[in-house]
Amino acid sequence: MRRWVWFAALLTVAALAVVVGWRGWVGGDEATAPPETEPDPRPRLTATRVVGRKQGQRQFELDAGVIADDDDWVRIEAIENGLLYRDGRVFVTFDADGGRWHRATNNLILLGSVALVYDQRVHMRTDRLEWLADEELVVSPGPVRMLIDGDTVEAGGMEADVGEERVSLSGGVRIVRPGGGTVEMEEVVYWLAEERLEGYGRGRLVFGDGSDPSSER
């Protein structure tokens, strides 16, 4: 009988030792675990269609890979199938790596590899493009690379007035004409409706025959 009592006591002690050791091992592992990071509480949506309206009128639409709230702005990533509207019709299509949308003003900033097509007459690539909703202006601080009615254009900056169908280029403008001539001016304005080109400041013209007169306006 005494042997059974001693045997039971030994089993109890051994069981307690195992429990204490297991708790110590778990506690030690928890102590070395990295702290959990707090999740971003702001709304974040993936794969959605964004529509911007001004006074009830649709001004733009785009497909976004990700959108996230950022105070007064909405951050947008992976922009595709972008459309700008005027008088109810599409006049600009665009894509970009990302951008930001200001909800109060409906202004839109496109960033990264930005590609824009205007009325199939103007094709543009740049790293930053801004849509100013109230003024109906498309602005790029540049540099920009464009194809305008067959002209290959490089410029330091660009501003396009949608209402006037005017594209103003500045900052070392260089234009290669379809016929082979080259125009280099400080500032150039395209009037798209009139199919007219104006240059301002000192410049350099190279005609298709290779002659190289200089001009100033």
* Segment 181-214, tens digit of pLDDT: 999 999 999 999 999 999 998 888 888 655 555 5
Q: For the chain, give the mean pLDDT.
A: 80
How many domains does the structure of the chain reveal? Answer: 2
Mean pLDDT of 79-100: 93
Asked if 85 and 112 sit in the same domain, the reply is yes
Asked if 206 and 149 sit in the same domain, the reply is yes
Burial class (CB in 10 A: 0-12, 13-18, 19+), 31: exposed
Asked if 114 and 172 sit in the same domain, the reply is no
Q: What is residue 82's predicted lDDT score, i.e. its pLDDT?
A: 95
Query: Does 71 map to a domain?
Result: yes
Asked if 62 and 105 sit in the same domain, the reply is yes
Asked if 154 and 122 sit in the same domain, the reply is no
- Separation between Cα atoms, residue 92 and residue 162, nearest integer Å: 10
Range(s) of the domain holding residue 148: 142-217
Percent of the chain as helix, strand, coil, to the nearest 5:
15, 60, 25
Does residue 78 or residue 47 have the better pLDDT?
A: 78
Burial class (CB in 10 A: 0-12, 13-18, 19+), 172: middle
Query: Does 9 map to a domain?
Result: no
The angle subtended at Cα 45 by Cα 125 and Cα 65, nearest 5°, is 30
Q: Report pTM.
A: 0.73
